[in-house]
Amino acid sequence: MGQCQSSPPNPLSPQEAFISAADKGDIDVVAMYLEKGEVSIDGHSKDGYTALVKAASFGHIKVCNLLISHGCKLDIQCNGFTALMRAASMGRIEISRLLVSHGCNLDVQNSIGPALTWAAGNDNKAICELLLTHGCNVDVQSTSGITALIWAAGRGHNEICKLLISTGCNLDLQDKDGRSAFTFSCEHGHIPFAISLIKSGCDYSLRDENGKSGLDHLKESHPVKANEVQVALNVTVYFAHSAMHYLYSRTTI
């Protein structure tokens, strides 16, 4: 009985080989295919990605530069992600700078949000600063209502949250379930940020679709920590009332 011989693997098509080279950062192969003109620079691989999104994801800045110099489109969404969104989520600051400098759209979003939300949720402060400096919309809400502040709050990224608050962002936007940044910070036990939000003037009385406030969630999941937040809340309310009383007394003299 003869032995069964396995068939040799099918060779990659020029388009697949081109995108695979971008994925691996093989700039010579990418350049070769571009020079031959055998591929679509904005074509998709079988898994749904363009060469630029692949290169941006894995930090291959020379490949990104080459593709951009050949006129690739910057804002194509692949499985929901643009090249900037992938770079922002992966902490690729140099590639993010490159894309922004060439005028990519900062506010394209998927179900989670735009590049700012992805950077904030993954604690990539330098990229958040870059996007904010270039005028991205800090209060963009995804289809589920998530903002950069909400996602950073839920993950406990305090420095990111402080940065976002410093821009004057809306502290009280709520997701589709009625949860604000304060609700998320309490629900996940991120006390320093919950206190920062109180001091910054958030509406801590907001309730979610189940009628629960952030403090209600905190008392259920972290009862000891709830006392710390309640003290901060009491102090804030006390000083607010004292200030109002002082201003009233001055106007009635």
CATH classification of the domain holding 75: 1.25.40.20
pLDDT of the residue at 92: 97
Residues 55-97: pLDDT tens digits?
Answer: 999 999 999 999 999 999 999 999 999 999 999 999 999 999 9
- DSSP H or E segment with residue 83: helix 83-90
Q: Is residue 6 in some structural domain?
A: no
Token look-up 């994801």 returns 57
Residue 99 half-sphere exposure toward CB, CA atoms < 13 A: 35
Question: Which segments of the chain have a pLDDT < 70?
Answer: 1-10, 231-253
Rounded to 5 degrees, what are φ and ψ at 4?
A: -75, 130
Rounded to 5 degrees, what are φ and ψ at 241?
A: -65, -40
Pair (167, 93) in one structural domain? no
pLDDT of the residue at 109: 94
For residue 31, the 8-state DSSP code is H
Closest Cα to residue 128, out of 83, 89, 86?
A: 89
pTM of the model as a whole: 0.85
Rounded to 5 degrees, what are φ and ψ at 78?
A: -115, 115
CA distances from 115 to 13, 86, 124, 221 (A): 32, 8, 11, 31
Pair (82, 126) in one structural domain? no
Q: Which structural domain, as residue segments, surrounds residue 17?
A: 12-105
Pair (65, 116) in one structural domain? no
57's CB contacts (< 8 A; 6+ apart) are 23, 49, 86, 87, 90, 92
Measured between alpha carbons, how far is 114 from 84 in angstroms, rounded to an integer? Answer: 9
51's CB contacts (< 8 A; 6+ apart) are 18, 19, 21, 22, 30, 41, 43, 63, 67, 72
pLDDT of the residue at 238: 40
Pair (77, 138) in one structural domain? no
Pair (118, 226) in one structural domain? yes
pLDDT of the residue at 198: 87
Pair (83, 59) in one structural domain? yes
Measured between alpha carbons, how far is 193 from 198 in angstroms, rounded to an integer? Answer: 9
Last residue of a domain, one of 105, 123, 139: 105
Pair (43, 98) in one structural domain? yes
Letter for the amino acid at 146?
Answer: I
Pair (70, 133) in one structural domain? no
